[in-house]
Amino acid sequence: MFIGGASNGANKIAWGQVYRVLEHGFAKSQRQDQAKMRLFPQQIQDFAIAFVTMQAKRHKADYDPHARFQKSAVSLDVDQAETAIADFQAASVSDRRTFAAYVLLKNRT
> In terms of Cα–Cα distance, which of 107, 81, 91 is closest to 1?
91
> In terms of Cα–Cα distance, which of 50, 60, 37, 34 is closest to 85?
50
End-to-end CA distance of the chain: 27
Contacts of 11 (CB under 8 A, 6+ apart): 3, 4, 5
pLDDT at 53: 94
**Over its length of 109 residues, how does the chain's per-residue pLDDT go in tens digits?**
667 666 677 777 887 777 777 888 888 888 888 999 999 999 999 999 999 999 999 999 999 999 999 999 999 999 999 999 999 999 999 999 999 889 888 888 7
* pTM, entire model: 0.81
Task: Enumerate the domain spans of the chain.
Answer: 23-104
pLDDT at 5: 64
